[in-house]
């Protein structure tokens, strides 16, 4: 591993500082940027984000970042990690909006629908457990019973079951993280998930 510098993409959708702080805690340098030239030099990218799908895609388009992100993820195949809205943008689209997503993963985002609305509120908010569905360097030496912090009303439904890394139960099972080659995404917030999130991000920094 030649470079621990992580490039955090700033496309005006919040909570970048908390990700940078937790990376600092685990000994990884990071830069927060919306500069295409800086992103073009990245060796690892985190695409964070909270908020609405179309706002996220519109901002990426207006900042002229889609082509450089496509180049890094699809051509150079550097490790890219989408967090929360960032994971949803890896998809082809969302029920929440009209704009197409980045389309790196097949599938779209759907809103939670419950048979029994009294027990499960939208958004899905707070701590929840995950079930790891396939082997991944992201979960090397992970603490037992890993649980993470969630805040979301939509979730990604991958078309390809092989892309599913973890699932989480919220009335029914949904995909809570994905991994396809160099492209990773997590619906939960590792930066708000204490030791579990720190371990996950450390694995992303060290193992990819």
Q: How far is CA 173 from CA 56, 60, 109, 156, 168, in A?
A: 26, 30, 14, 12, 5
Neighbours of 99 (CB within 10 A): 16
> From the candidates 96, 124, 179, 191, which is the catalytic residue?
191
> Catalytic: 189?
yes
Kindly report the backbone phi and psi dihedral angles of residue 123, in degrees, each rounded to the nearest multiple of 5, phi listed first. -75, 160
Closest CA to 92 of 43, 160, 151, 46: 160
> From the candidates 84, 96, 124, 152, which is the catalytic residue?
84
> Catalytic: 84?
yes
Q: Which residues, other chains included, contact 133 with Cβ-Cβ below 8 Å and sequence gap of 6+? A: 164, 165, 166, 167
In angstroms, rounded to a whole number, what is the distance separating the alpha carbons of residues 170 and 124?
8
Is the separation of the CB atoms in 7 and 38 below 8 Å? yes
| Terminal Cα distance for the chain, rounded | 8
> From the candidates 96, 152, 179, 189, which is the catalytic residue?
189
Is the separation of the CB atoms in 72 and 81 below 8 Å? no
Cβ burial, residue 1 (10 Å; 0-12/13-18/19+) = exposed
| Residue positions annotated with a catalytic role | 84, 189, 191
């Amino acid at each position: 591993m030649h470079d621990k510098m992580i490039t955090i993409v700033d496309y005006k959708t919040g909570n970048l500082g908390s990700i940078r702080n937790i990376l600092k805690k685990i000994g990884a340098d990071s830069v927060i940027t919306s500069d295409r030239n800086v992103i073009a030099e990245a060796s690892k990218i985190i695409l964070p984000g909270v908020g609405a799908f179309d706002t996220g895609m519109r901002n990426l388009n207006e900042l002229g970042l889609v082509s450089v992100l496509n180049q890094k993820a699809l051509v150079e195949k550097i490790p890219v990690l989408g967090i929360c809205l960032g994971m949803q943008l890896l998809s082809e689209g969302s029920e929440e909006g009209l704009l197409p997503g980045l389309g790196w993963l097949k599938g779209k985002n759907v809103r939670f629908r419950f048979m029994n609305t009294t027990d499960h509120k939208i958004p899905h908010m707070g701590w929840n457990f995950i079930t790891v569905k396939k082997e991944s360097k992201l979960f090397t030496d992970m603490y037992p019973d890993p649980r993470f912090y969630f805040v979301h009303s939509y979730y990604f439904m991958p078309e390809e079951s092989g892309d599913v890394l973890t699932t989480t139960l919220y009335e029914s099972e949904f995909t809570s993280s994905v991994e396809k080659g160099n492209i990773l995404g997590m619906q939960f917030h590792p930066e708000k998930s204490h030791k579990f999130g720190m371990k996950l991000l450390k694995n992303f920094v060290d193992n990819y």
